[in-house]
């Protein structure tokens, strides 16, 4: 049913849960899993911005390489690193790879923080061409961190 699954991650626990959901889906469907991390662009007027962006990109690449070895062994996959606005880059990647499913985390922000910060998952849900499976933070994690 699915041949190309896109899973955007930001390396937090919830996005890794989404990856752990996407991985067996890819295996069961004999699909290729595309794991995407988007590096947020820094303010270009800050003198150190290029150095910060370079270091952030290097750390993100190391994280993707580690996930590739540890979490994705045995799964046909490709890692992708982009920079820019997260929702725009996720949607661009969806089109570039012709994804037929996006599996992504949602952080469950509510109220004012959601209005001020927006929701990457919500924007992707509204604008994606293919189906989007959102993974909420696990309840037991919420209870144990309280």
Q: Tell me the domains of the chain and their CATH numbers.
A: 4-145 (3.40.50.620)
pLDDT of residue 143: 47
Is the pLDDT reported for residue 50 higher than 90? Answer: no
Is the pLDDT reported for residue 10 higher than 90? Answer: yes
Give the N- to C-terminal CA distance of the chain in Å, as an integer: 40
pLDDT of residue 53: 81
Compute the distance between CA of residue 130 and CA of residue 98 in angstroms, rounded to an integer: 9
Is the pLDDT reported for residue 43 higher than 80? Answer: no
Phi, psi of 100 (to 5 degrees): -110, 5
The number of C-alpha atoms within 13 Å of 61 and in the hemisphere containing its C-beta is: 8
Nearest to 85 by CA among 44, 55, 114, 120: 120
Which residues on adjacent β-strands are paired with residue 105? 135
Residue matched to tokens 């994690």: 141
Segment 86-92 mean pLDDT = 97
pLDDT of residue 118: 59
pLDDT digits (tens, 9 = 90+) for 100-142: 999 999 876 655 555 544 589 999 999 999 999 999 876 435 4
pLDDT of residue 107: 76
Angle between the 86-97 and 120-127 helix axes, to the nearest 10 degrees?
40
pLDDT of residue 129: 97
């Amino acid at each position: 049913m699915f041949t190309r699954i896109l899973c955007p991650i930001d390396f937090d626990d919830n996005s890794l849960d989404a990856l752990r959901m996407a991985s067996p889906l890819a295996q069961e469907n004999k699909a290729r899993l595309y794991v995407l991390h988007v590096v947020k662009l820094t303010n270009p007027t800050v003198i150190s911005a290029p150095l910060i962006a370079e270091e952030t990109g290097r750390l993100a690449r190391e994280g993707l390489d580690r996930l590739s070895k540890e979490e994705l062994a045995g799964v046909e996959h490709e890692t992708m690193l982009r920079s820019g606005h997260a929702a725009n880059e996720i949607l661009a990647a969806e089109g570039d790879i012709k994804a037929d499913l996006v599996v992504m985390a949602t952080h469950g922000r509510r109220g004012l923080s959601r209005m001020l910060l927006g929701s990457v998952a919500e924007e992707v849900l509204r604008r994606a061409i293919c189906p989007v499976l959102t993974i909420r933070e696990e309840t037991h994690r919420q209870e144990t961190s309280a």
